[in-house]
Chains A and B, each alone.
Chain A
């Protein structure tokens, strides 16, 4: 099992549009903020999707969160600690 203790998990609710993933991932890449893991699935209503990001927990996290919130298709962001099970369960598929 990998160690996620230095990480935080961001949970984004986004519009289920083509292009949303590229807006979100592009933002993290160009602001030089590493994304360790990513998971994206449409929600039940099909209009929205959830994006889960496993990111490094550093002092720029608030800044990158604020920048992400400015994206038109990002509706909500919440932050979880590394103990959240979403990525831990995903690990089964990559190990």
Chain B
């Protein structure tokens, strides 16, 4: 059959099971867009390409499957860069497909020509500048294989316009690309792990996103219960343990609870499962878990020994290891250690207000969670609101939590929530944002309205770039520079201007009633909630300090 490069791309994406693509067209992507109508793929037009990148991330995080975004050359491609970098640092399988100027014009500084290959190389697992339509037969399946194999991550495909237009003759389509089989633990490794765990008196699991990736969240919790091993979660590992589990001490690191930190000081074995020992989690790494032997189970060989030298390293699928340990290990009690953890949780958890007060961020987040219930996927932007959410949101299942961890990208929340609403339409997509972050991609409310998506945005509005202000308050003698949004826009009105419902709790006589009504209003809704700028995220470990040197609260 005869087929153009652009038609081939669309056909191969269909064959990969892609049903929705977020993007924004332009000159160099016109043939791709010409091939879209009539396909089985629904295109979601965003208002900015960064939104398209984050929508793809949101879809991938909630579904665990690779997701695709489209952009044109030049500014289209550069606008995608932040989202692809975000996916790279959080290991999310996103496939970015960009149009490029015709091959004959490459290297001539043509209109909207930019070195997309060069820009994408450092922020992808692999990327291509496609030289002919035939190459697409290999590149598209390879893109899916690479994005989803081992430790997942983004890939980028740059396709010159003439390659999109080139007609080739093919007999059949190549097989869709699939994830490669994962390295398995050896029997000897399993025996060593079992012995190490059996011998430990005060073991501690450090649960990372690798556990979610390897579809072993339930097995991990079961293992913890069977062997009575308490656990801490990395920022991205949150939602593996259901909220309130008595063995779980919540998120570790910069904004972890004091109890969590004490437990890590005391543990004699740290089991890092699908983690990369990020500095926000470990604090000053030389003082992290000073008494502990370290067992590191990780799919990415280059993470082993990168920052923390393990006592035992197992380069294998975390899921396979956990499931084998769950089957093989004898139950253990560890009565003292478990009761110590319980005591630490009760006495040194995140201190919550005792009565409901919607101007207190913890109380607000808890109340929102109660109103929306468990059938909700939770997103945030970046800042204090993100950390408050990470500290207290009552997650009940994995993949319920979606937030920008490694890159910490303001502007992630709303488009990612749109992605989740598209990929998991049975559930509400909640986005908890701040007055700073929401402005980075607020235009995507218009996209949510176009598709009438079940997206609810709660803007926790302190009229400040709160987390930056917090650092200036604590470490820069309150020299508040450039953190004041005092004249914030009327976000409820902005939402209304784009056709969404907008609510402002600052104008409510009964804030709880308004919040309840807003969260129960169908379609896209934005709710502005004023809070005091003096609310802080505690505990906090000063950047660069050891976790044990956390600041518990602000001295007056």
List of B residues within 8 angstroms of A62 by Cβ: 305
User: Please, how many angstroms separate the alpha-carbon atoms of A27 and B302 in the complex?
Assistant: 13
Does B121 lie within 8 Å of A18, measured CB to CB?
Answer: no
User: Please, how many angstroms separate the alpha-carbon atoms of A26 and B120 in the complex?
Assistant: 11
Closest to A68 in B: B302
> Does A47 touch B at the CB level, under 8 Å?
no
Does B128 lie within 8 Å of A19, measured CB to CB?
Answer: yes
Closest to B150 in A: A70
A-B contact pairs, 20 of them (CB 8 A): A18-B129, A19-B117, A19-B128, A22-B118, A22-B121, A23-B121, A26-B121, A26-B122, A62-B305, A63-B306, A66-B301, A67-B302, A69-B301, A70-B125, A70-B300, A70-B302, A72-B126, A72-B142, A72-B146, A73-B126
Does A30 lie within 8 Å of B122, measured CB to CB?
Answer: yes
Known: A19-B117, A22-B121, A26-B122. A66 touches B302 (CB 8 A): yes
Q: In angstroms, how far is the closest chain B Cβ from the Cβ of A41?
A: 21
Q: In angstroms, how far is the closest chain A Cβ from the Cβ of B168?
A: 20
List of A residues within 8 angstroms of B300 by Cβ: 70
Closest to A67 in B: B302
List of B residues within 8 angstroms of A69 by Cβ: 301-302
User: Please, how many angstroms separate the alpha-carbon atoms of A19 and B118 in the complex?
Assistant: 9
User: Please, how many angstroms separate the alpha-carbon atoms of A67 and B118 in the complex?
Assistant: 18
Does B122 lie within 8 Å of A72, measured CB to CB?
Answer: no
- Residue positions of B touching A, CB distance < 8 A: 117-118, 121-122, 125-129, 131, 142, 146, 300-302, 305-306
User: Please, how many angstroms separate the alpha-carbon atoms of A22 and B131 in the complex?
Assistant: 16
Closest to B155 in A: A72
User: Please, how many angstroms separate the alpha-carbon atoms of A66 and B300 in the complex?
Assistant: 9
Closest to B131 in A: A18
User: Please, how many angstroms separate the alpha-carbon atoms of A70 and B125 in the complex?
Assistant: 8
Closest to A29 in B: B122
Interface membership of chain A positions 21-44, coded 1 if the CB is closer than 8 angstroms to chain B and 0 otherwise: 011001100100000000000000
Q: How many inter-chain contacts with C-beta < 8 Å in the A-B complex? A: 35
Contact of A63 among B121, B127, B128, B305 (CB under 8 A): B305
Does A63 lie within 8 Å of B302, measured CB to CB?
Answer: yes
Contact of B129 among A19, A30, A72 (CB under 8 A): A19
List of A residues within 8 angstroms of B126 by Cβ: 71-73
Closest to B301 in A: A66
Q: In angstroms, how far is the closest chain A Cβ from the Cβ of B523?
A: 43
Closest 7 CB pairs of A and B: A66-B302, A72-B126, A67-B302, A30-B122, A26-B121, A66-B301, A63-B306
User: Please, how many angstroms separate the alpha-carbon atoms of A28 and B142 in the complex?
Assistant: 24
List of B residues within 8 angstroms of A70 by Cβ: 125, 300-302
Closest to A62 in B: B305
Q: In angstroms, how far is the closest chain B Cβ from the Cβ of A77?
A: 12
Q: In angstroms, how far is the closest chain A Cβ from the Cβ of B139?
A: 11
List of B residues within 8 angstroms of A73 by Cβ: 126
6 new A-B contacts at CB < 8 Å, known A19-B121, A72-B125, A73-B126: A22-B117, A22-B121, A23-B121, A26-B121, A30-B122, A63-B302
List of A residues within 8 angstroms of B128 by Cβ: 19
Q: In angstroms, how far is the closest chain B Cβ from the Cβ of A45?
A: 18
Q: In angstroms, how far is the closest chain A Cβ from the Cβ of B129?
A: 7
Q: In angstroms, how far is the closest chain A Cβ from the Cβ of B142?
A: 8
Closest to B307 in A: A63
User: Please, how many angstroms separate the alpha-carbon atoms of A27 and B127 in the complex?
Assistant: 13
User: Please, how many angstroms separate the alpha-carbon atoms of A63 and B306 in the complex?
Assistant: 6
Closest to B117 in A: A19
User: Please, how many angstroms separate the alpha-carbon atoms of A26 and B125 in the complex?
Assistant: 13
User: Please, how many angstroms separate the alpha-carbon atoms of A26 and B126 in the complex?
Assistant: 12
Q: In angstroms, how far is the closest chain A Cβ from the Cβ of B161?
A: 18
List of B residues within 8 angstroms of A26 by Cβ: 118, 121-122
List of B residues within 8 angstroms of A66 by Cβ: 301-302
Q: In angstroms, how far is the closest chain B Cβ from the Cβ of A3?
A: 30
Interface membership of chain A positions 48-76, coded 1 if the CB is closer than 8 angstroms to chain B and 0 otherwise: 00000000000000110011011111000
Which among A26, A70, A71 has the highest number of chain B CB atoms within 10 Å?
A: A70
User: Please, how many angstroms separate the alpha-carbon atoms of A7 and B54 in the complex?
Assistant: 43
Q: In angstroms, how far is the closest chain B Cβ from the Cβ of A94?
A: 27
List of B residues within 8 angstroms of A63 by Cβ: 302, 305-306
User: Please, how many angstroms separate the alpha-carbon atoms of A69 and B117 in the complex?
Assistant: 20
List of B residues within 8 angstroms of A30 by Cβ: 122
User: Please, how many angstroms separate the alpha-carbon atoms of A23 and B117 in the complex?
Assistant: 10
User: Please, how many angstroms separate the alpha-carbon atoms of A26 and B306 in the complex?
Assistant: 19
Q: In angstroms, how far is the closest chain B Cβ from the Cβ of A69?
A: 7
List of B residues within 8 angstroms of A71 by Cβ: 126
User: Please, how many angstroms separate the alpha-carbon atoms of A85 and B118 in the complex?
Assistant: 33
Q: In angstroms, how far is the closest chain B Cβ from the Cβ of A67?
A: 5
User: Please, how many angstroms separate the alpha-carbon atoms of A72 and B121 in the complex?
Assistant: 12
Q: In angstroms, how far is the closest chain B Cβ from the Cβ of A28?
A: 11
List of A residues within 8 angstroms of B129 by Cβ: 18-19
User: Please, how many angstroms separate the alpha-carbon atoms of A66 and B126 in the complex?
Assistant: 16
Closest to A27 in B: B122
User: Please, how many angstroms separate the alpha-carbon atoms of A63 and B303 in the complex?
Assistant: 8
